[in-house]
Every structure is written in structure tokens, then in C-alpha cells.
Structure 1
Amino acid sequence: MTQLDDKLQMLKDLTDAKGVSGNERETRNVMKSYIEPYADEITYDRLGSLIAVKEGKADGPKVMVAGHLDEIGFMVTQITEDGFLRFQTVGGWWEQVMLAQRVTVMTRDGEVPGVIGSKPPHILPAEERKKPVKTKDMFIDVGAANKEDAESFGIRPGDSAVPVCDFTVMKNPKYLLAKAWDNRIGCAIAIDVLKALQGQSHPNTVYGVGTVQEEVGLRGAQTSTHQIQPDIGFAVDTGIPGDTPGIDKKDAKAEIGKGPQVLVYDASMISHKGLREFVTGVADQADIPYQFDSIAGGGTDSGKIHLTANGVPALSISVATRYIHTSASIIHRDDYENAVRLMVEVVKQLDEDKVNDITFG
């Protein structure tokens, strides 16, 4: 196995952690362990979002940098008499990518391995074989002989099931494979921003945030932003690249390895023009590569951040990620590191005058 440097070890710990929406405790603990040495204070909102505070100028603006802790997964809804688990999806899944995938069921007594199954195609009518299997026709097989056996494992309705995919440095070491890049990479960026500011002056107070329940409605973004009341907000998340076979450039033109994405529009918000132009100006001055992107469907935590109180100028910065909302996805290390560089340079320049100019100019 490739020897991991400190950054890669953090990425492994974050992505290997299990944290389906509504059950983010394990991921939150990992993020806390990495961000706490660089924070002046750690607090939480009452849904469980982590808020790490890095103090700069006491009366300066409040700048929020948020990644979400949760990942898509499944929730057990029923144990059949034969010991199989019926489930519902948590977050957005494409049914074609779910079958035969390994999962870990998180129970009160510990972890239980399983696999998603369905009727095999060999016994289906020819017409049915051509159609995707519906979630309602799938189940999780945990190797139980019957319902009582499954219950003896500690499984009960409400337990979450998490996809299995170990963090892997690929043959080209710039390419990193893992589950849950959406959005542990945002959590990693928030950690690294606070780390990079150690020993450096900045004209503001920075909040590195790990939000909960983004995948089911941007919920932790709403509660944590309400608690912080920031002057400027950033969601750091994943984006869609268009560099794999079959994608038309008009649908997704970004490429992994070509810099972080500056999102101009998604279904949850129109990015703040003044903030967007400020960020891209900083990137140009610092010679940091970036790509513009827009997404007609879906949204990020910025969608709730910008609507808090009287409004918060907000922007989403994303790392292009292949195969998001599946059990395994790929990022490029350069995009991650350039996203950190960009956010650090932006934070250093967000003084009161600049924030007022962005907000009211």
C-alpha cells in the first residue's frame, strides 16, 4: 500500500468514516480531531453541525467556510421474516448503481456487513431485464437465517447503512478514489483553511463548519448559519466534471485537475455577483486555476446560507468529482489543494471595507 502523507491520511480518515445524513457522529468526531488544534473554540448547533472558530480581528467580519459531514446512504425500514432488510434511500441515488454494492449497517451493537440484492435476471421475463430494478424491489442481505437472527445482530428499523469503498491512491497518485468525497472533501478544505491561518493575521473571524443533513435538504446549513450569523458564506462541495465518456461539454465542461469550480448558478441559489467577482479576482492575482460551472438541478449549502436572517452574500466553491452519488468517486489532488489555496487567500483579504463593498457596493 502507498505510504500516506499527513494530508492523505486525513482524507482517508474522513472518507472512510461512516456518516449517513442524520447519523453523522463518526464523521463529526474525525473532523473535530483534525480541526480542533487550529480552532480557538469548538461549538455545535443543536442538529449536530460542528462549528470551529478561528479568531482574527475581534470586530472584523464573520466568514463561514462550510463543508457537509453527511453522505448519501440508506436507512433500514423493515426486517423480513426471512432476515432480509428492506430499506429506503437517504439522499439522491440512481438505482442503476445500487445493486450488488456492499454496505455496512450501523447498529446499536456495532457494524454489520451486508450487500444489496434483488431477484437475479435469470428468472425475470425478457422485458423486465431491460428495466432498472426499483429500490422497492431491493433488499440488504446481512447473512441472517431469519428475522430473529437479524435482530440478534442488533439491527432494527432506523439504522443507517453506509456504502463500502476504502480510500485508495490510484496508480497516478494525483487521482484519489473513495466513497463520500461528497462532501468530506469540503470538510478537509475547511480544516486546511484554519490550519493555514495559524500564526497569520486575518481581518476577520473564520468559522470552519461541518454541517449535517445537507443531502436531505441543506438542513444543517440553515441551523449553523443561524447560530453564526456570518457576513460572508462559502459552501465548499463537490461538482460535476464533463471529462468522462459520453458527456457533452454543453452539459458539463469542467475537467478534474484544472482547478476548483466557481458555481455561478444552481437550483438553490444564484451566486452573489460581487462575491464571485472578488473571489475570481483573488484567484487571478494569485495565479490559482479555477473553472466556472453551473448546475440546473441540485444545490449546495449556500442555498440555505444566503437566505439566513437578512441575507448573506454566499458562493459555492467545488471540487470536480467523478461519479458522485455512487459508492465510489474520484477527485484530483491538485483541485483540492488549489481550493484550499484559493479559500485562504480570499479569507486574508476579506476585511470590513471589502465585505461592505461586496454587500452594498
Structure 2
Amino acid sequence: MERVRETLEKLSNACGISGRECNIREILEDEMKDCVDEIKEDALGNLIAIKYGKKPKETRKKVMLAAHMDEIGLMVKYIDDDGFIRFIGIGGWFYPSLLNTQVILHGSNGPIKGVIGSKPPHILSEEERKKQIRLEDLFIDIGAKNREEVRNAGIREGTPVTIDVSLKDLLNDRVTGKSLDNRAGLTVLIEFMRRIDHLDCDIYAVGTVQEEVGLKGAKTSSFEINPDFALVIDTTIPQDHPGIDPKRSMIEIDKGPVITIADASGRGLIAPEKIIDWLINVAKDKDIPYQLEVSEGGTTDATSIHLSRAGIPTGVISIPTRYIHSPVEVLSIKDIDNTVELIVQALKDVDL
């Protein structure tokens, strides 16, 4: 599991918001180049790593494994006369979680440190204390005295911004950091390609772009690959901490990978029964812990993939991750390892 943790740390600490995934793509390529037959980048920026099967080409099925490379982040919108920077959110933020955090602005002259500032509590009025934090209330301070200093630092409109957080160890093989959604999925993708020999089928491991802003990369890459079926690897919300009604589900950290039955109340993916049964049967047969999810909330790249071309049978396997879309996401390295093992065992002898 140490190698799994090291890979996750490298990916989590790197930065790549939606549409600016180049750093993550480089890591993904570097980690997989020695264990695949071909790597290419498509026009939208998806990274596609291929390990060809042992059977004759005309008889081989194509399997697509997808995990998105992008993280939610920020982008510079406006620089005021005094050097304070206004921004927009890229992806699904709960804006109060940004208050008083440290950030990195990825400008043309290299990374610049900054903080998201606010009025100190000492001078807040009673009315201000009751107000919910809005995006327009937030700004970035890099220490500049005016707009010219900001521009001279290589910051302009459109500069991407990420949270300045590094991966840290917690108890019980758990870690905390940013962008575990979905650098955990990428870690599974990499580790899977390391562990398997050439199978009967062709494996297309895809790091997709712009999932957090519309499942965009999954749409174009699945159209190009046209796989016989696909598995998406992502993260999902456990119900094992205060503040969440346990009646919503029984998903917990350390209880293994989560097999999706349906998400977004069916507006996203309703997984085919044959894929659900296949994954459950493998997990039971190989004694791999697993959980099942029927969710009302978000969705994944599977929503785009399963509607590509004439339709592609698609499943989702997720890693339970607390506090998703915040700077302090938490997951278990054991769950990542078990997710890899489930996919390895499932694809060793697949007939869908």
C-alpha cells in the first residue's frame, strides 16, 4: 500500500483545475509509460494509455477505464486598483469552505502564493455575522500594492488558482488533502495498469479532462475509443461522520469500493444489471469488501460515456471520501487498494 500512497500524494499535491490539467497529464503519463503499449493525447486533452490484449485483434474486446484528471479550483476574473484579485469558481464549491485559505496562483512567471481574505470577526456587524458567505465577498491577497504589481508577477485574467494544501497522514491508514476527488481514481488507474499482465481484451486507461464542469472529456474520448463496455473510477460520499443522515445510505470509509447502482436519482447513470452482478460476484468470490450505492446527488463521467455513440454499457466503482469538494478531503488507502484489486480480478476473466 505504500506505493499506492506515494502515487496518491504525487497526484494530490499537483495542481490541475478543469481545462488546465497538463501537470496531472504529465504525471499520469510518466507513471504509466513503462507498463502500457501506447500512450496518446486527444484533441481535448484526455490522456489515453493502451495495453493491448493477447487474443487476435479481430476477437479482442475493448474495455475503457476512466478517471477524471481535473480538480475544482478558481480562476482570476478581475484585478482592482489596490492589487486585490476577484475570481470565479471552476467546479462545485461551497464558498464558505474557501474563507481564509491559502492559495497558489499559477501565473506566467511561476506560482505565486496568496490568501483568500476577509474582514476579521472583531469588526463584523451582527447582520454581517448572520449572512452566508457569497463569492462576491471573497478576494485574493498576494501582498501586492496595486494592479501593476499583480500583472508584473505574471497574474492576469484567466490565471488558474488552486488551494495550497499538501497530503498528510491521519490515523488508520487514512489521509487528508485536496483533490482526492479524483486523484484517488487516477491512482487506481495507474496501479491497475502496473499490476496486470496483458489480458485477453484491450485496456484503454483514460485520464479525462473537465469532468467537474460538464463531463466533457469523457464524451469525446469514449466516442473515439468506442469500447465494448466501460468502468468509471471516482469518489463518493460516505455517511459515517456527523451531520449526515445515516438513512441516506450505509457507505463507510474502510468498508471497500462502492459499486454504483444508480446516481442522481437516475438522471445520471442507471448501471446495467449485468455489470452490477458481475462486479458483486467477483467481489464475493475473491473476498474483496464492497458496498452498494443508490444516490440522489451528483454523477460521474459514466453519464457521458454510457450515452456515447449507440450506447456503451458502463459501471462506476468509487472510493468513499469524506468532505468532497473541500481542501480537507479524507479517505482510506485500504479502500484504494481494494478498489484496484476488484478491478484486477474482474477483468482477468470478463465476458460481458
**Cα distance in 1, alignment partners of residues 2 and 303 from structure 2:** 34
**Cα distance in 2, alignment partners of residues 103 and 310 from structure 1:** 43
State the AA in 1 paired with 2:32.
Answer: I
Q: State the TM-score, normalized to the length of structure 1.
A: 0.93
Residue in 2 that maps onto 1:359: none
**Cα distance in 1, alignment partners of residues 245 and 296 from structure 2:** 15
Residue in 2 that maps onto 1:22: 19
**Cα distance in 1, alignment partners of residues 183 and 343 from structure 2:** 16
* 1:69-107 per-position Cα deviation (integer Å, ceiling 9, x unaligned): 000010101111110111000000112211011110111
1:192 matched to 2:179: no
Q: Give the fraction of aligned pairs with identical amino acids, expressed as a percent.
A: 41
**Contact 2:117/2:139 (CA < 8 Å) preserved in 1?**
yes
What do you get for the CA RMSD once the two structures are aligned? 1.3
SS in 2 for 1:308: coil
SS in 1 for 2:248: coil
1:176 matched to 2:199: no
Residue in 2 that maps onto 1:73: 73
1:160 matched to 2:186: no
**Cα distance in 2, alignment partners of residues 276 and 7 from structure 1:** 26
Structure 2: state its 5+ residue gaps.
Answer: none
Residue in 1 that maps onto 2:4: 7
Residue in 2 that maps onto 1:289: 289
Residue in 2 that maps onto 1:132: 132
**Cα distance in 2, alignment partners of residues 76 and 67 from structure 1:** 27
**Contact 2:4/2:333 (CA < 8 Å) preserved in 1?**
no
**Contact 1:271/1:315 (CA < 8 Å) preserved in 2?**
yes
* 1:22-43 per-position Cα deviation (integer Å, ceiling 9, x unaligned): 1000011011110111110001
State the AA in 1 paired with 2:191.
Answer: D
Q: CA deviation at 1:194?
A: 1.0
- Number of residue pairs aligned between Structure 1 and Structure 2: 346
Q: CA deviation at 1:264?
A: 1.1
**Cα distance in 2, alignment partners of residues 51 and 75 from structure 1:** 27
**Cα distance in 2, alignment partners of residues 8 and 123 from structure 1:** 44
Residue in 1 that maps onto 2:82: 82
Residue in 2 that maps onto 1:52: 49
**Cα distance in 2, alignment partners of residues 175 and 124 from structure 1:** 37
Q: CA deviation at 1:128?
A: 2.3
Q: CA deviation at 1:124?
A: 3.2
Q: CA deviation at 1:167?
A: 1.1
**Cα distance in 2, alignment partners of residues 265 and 280 from structure 1:** 15
202-211 vs 4-13, greater mean Cα deviation: 4-13
* 1:285-340 per-position Cα deviation (integer Å, ceiling 9, x unaligned): 11111001122121101010101101000011000001110012111111100000
**Contact 1:240/1:252 (CA < 8 Å) preserved in 2?**
no
* 1:180-226 per-position Cα deviation (integer Å, ceiling 9, x unaligned): 1100111111111111113xx42200011110000000001111111
SS in 2 for 1:11: helix
**Cα distance in 2, alignment partners of residues 235 and 179 from structure 1:** 20
Residue in 2 that maps onto 1:220: 217
**Cα distance in 1, alignment partners of residues 311 and 298 from structure 2:** 21
Select the residue among 220, 226, 230 that pairs with 1:229.
226
State the AA in 1 paired with 2:178.
Answer: K
146-155 vs 268-277, greater mean Cα deviation: 268-277
**Cα distance in 2, alignment partners of residues 328 and 9 from structure 1:** 18
State the AA in 2 paired with 1:97.
Answer: S
Q: CA deviation at 1:168?
A: 1.2
Q: CA deviation at 1:259?
A: 0.5
**Cα distance in 1, alignment partners of residues 231 and 108 from structure 2:** 35
**Cα distance in 2, alignment partners of residues 237 and 127 from structure 1:** 40
**Contact 1:45/1:227 (CA < 8 Å) preserved in 2?**
no
Residue in 1 that maps onto 2:345: 345
SS in 2 for 1:38: coil
**Contact 1:95/1:132 (CA < 8 Å) preserved in 2?**
no
State the AA in 1 paired with 2:161.
Answer: A
Residue in 2 that maps onto 1:114: 114
State the AA in 2 paired with 1:326.
Answer: S
Q: State the TM-score, normalized to the length of structure 2.
A: 0.96
1:211 matched to 2:228: no
**Contact 1:260/1:319 (CA < 8 Å) preserved in 2?**
yes
56-65 vs 285-294, greater mean Cα deviation: 56-65
SS in 2 for 1:155: coil
**Cα distance in 1, alignment partners of residues 41 and 307 from structure 2:** 20
* 1:110-130 per-position Cα deviation (integer Å, ceiling 9, x unaligned): 101111123334333312211
**Cα distance in 2, alignment partners of residues 227 and 114 from structure 1:** 40
Q: CA deviation at 1:252?
A: 3.5
SS in 2 for 1:243: coil
Q: CA deviation at 1:178?
A: 1.5
State the AA in 1 paired with 2:231.
Answer: F
Select the residue among 242, 245, 252 that pairs with 1:245.
242
State the AA in 1 paired with 2:203.
Answer: V
State the AA in 1 paired with 2:187.
Answer: A
* 1:129-180 per-position Cα deviation (integer Å, ceiling 9, x unaligned): 11221011111111111100111100001111001211112243x1011211
**Cα distance in 2, alignment partners of residues 168 and 219 from structure 1:** 31
